[in-house]
Amino acid sequence: MKKTRVSKKTKPLAGLATRAIHAGEDRQRYADSVTTPIVQTSTYVFKDSKEIEAYTKGGKDRFEYGRYGNPTEKVAERRLADLEEAEACVVFGSGMSAVITTIMSLVRSGDHIVITDDAYKQTLEFCSSYIQRFGVSCTIVKFGDYKALDRAVQRNTRFIISESPTNPYLNIFDLERLNEIARKHNVLTLIDSTFATPMNQRPLEFGVDLVIHSCTKYLAGHNDILAGVVLGRSELIEEIRQLHMAMGGVIDAHCCYLLLRGLKTFPLRMAAHNRTAMKVAQFLEDHPLVKKVYYPGLASHPHHEIAKRQMSGFGGVVTFDIKGRLATAKRFLDHLELCFIAPSLGGVETLITHPASVSYYRLTRKKRYELGITDTLIRLAVGVEDCQDIIADIDRALKKSSK
């Protein structure tokens, strides 16, 4: 297993919980505050002309304009890099901003990219459609078909991109096999690891070049901000940072403050998500009204052995197919009392969604089924409520929906 180089600056010196609270912060802070303050400004003042020259010509370390950086943002970047054990990272105003900017910074006209068919819907749409406007071609490969993935790489292929676990079926990419294919062809690899988080999986340890997270989800953890991050080697991150500054998809200081606050409890929350999701998955697998459960922690999941090998936890999302028809699924959702019907995940509240009605509603039923999105498919993102209450709510709604 190839290890990614970790700089001395970001190399972890303590346990995950300690780093989640303290990493990236200076010991002495403004006004002796315990928490990193919000630097709510769009621009920064120079004392005199000498300071301008010291910055522009001498490389003095300071801030100039909000689009190029903010003190609160820099603390968030250092902490995230530490948790992922990456050399560097860039924080964005949303997960999709991180994805699109990363892709655009790495390709040139005439390049080719490879993406799996189980990648996030909007990432897949961008790679297979919009990016072709810039003269970049794309090949979509069935997830898990590593021979097809190997064959799909061309002489002009720039990178392979996917996610692990995937949405909504929680498929797990064999990162060691991905690394073998990528090194064979000398191409870059990008993995969206949002569902796993740095607590459950660190793709950089397996030779992956860049890791992307929607910080909106587990890292911030409270369903109250939008944020994204890309992490990896310094030379790649700096290339992405340059386009990031030009495009302006920046995160504001208050969002960075909330992200930092969320990260302080991230390991505690993630442990609860892992624990509860496993119990809920086991409950659903034994439920007479459930047809199929998809959770990598279950032996029945097709990628369970891969997950055990490269993950330390299996995440907080459980996808399941209930018995019945579309009307049954709708009745199930309508009878829930604790779980909120909402399309996101990773927060303290338990959220549940019906992909056929939300993410894929524009597609015909035939097309949805070709993608595996059935009428009765449900995605559950467990929160940190008491596990027995979540199970009781689901059980009650399932029983009522079958009547």
CATH number of the domain bearing residue 242: 3.40.640.10
The last residue of one of the domains, among 264, 291, 321, is: 264
pLDDT band at 286 (very low <50, low <70, confident <90, very high): very high
Catalytic site residue from 118, 192, 375, 393: 192
Catalytic site residue from 118, 120, 174, 218: 120
pLDDT above 50 for 1: no
Is 158 noted as a catalytic residue in this protein? no
At residue 344's C-alpha, the angle toward residues 340 and 348, to 5°, is 65
Catalytic site residue from 79, 158, 202, 217: 217
Catalytic site residue from 44, 55, 67, 308: 67
Whether 364 is in a domain gets the answer yes
Is 120 noted as a catalytic residue in this protein? yes
Is 147 noted as a catalytic residue in this protein? no
Q: Which domain holds residue 340?
A: 267-401
pLDDT above 90 for 154: yes
> Distance of CA 381 to CAs 9, 30, 128, 321, Å?
35, 38, 28, 15
pLDDT at residue number 155: 97
Contacts of 319 (CB under 8 A, 6+ apart): 168, 169, 170, 293, 294, 295, 377, 378, 379, 380
What's the alpha-carbon Rg for the chain, to the nearest Å?
22
Contacts of 318 (CB under 8 A, 6+ apart): 277, 280, 281, 284, 293, 294, 295, 379, 380, 382
Mean pLDDT of the chain: 94
φ, ψ for residue 116, nearest 5 deg? -85, 155
Contacts of 68 (CB under 8 A, 6+ apart): 245
Is 130 noted as a catalytic residue in this protein? no
DSSP letter assigned to residue 270: H
Q: Supply the pTM of this predicted model.
A: 0.93
| Three-class DSSP category at 111 | coil
- The position carrying tokens 């860039």 is 90
- Check whether residue 241 and residue 351 sit in a common domain: no
The last residue of one of the domains, among 243, 264, 285, is: 264
- Work out whether strand 340-341 and strand 351-353 pair parallel, antiparallel, or are unpaired: parallel
- The position carrying tokens 């346990």 is 15
CATH for 339: 3.90.1150.10
pLDDT at residue number 13: 63
- The position carrying tokens 């950086």 is 69
- Check whether residue 219 and residue 154 sit in a common domain: yes
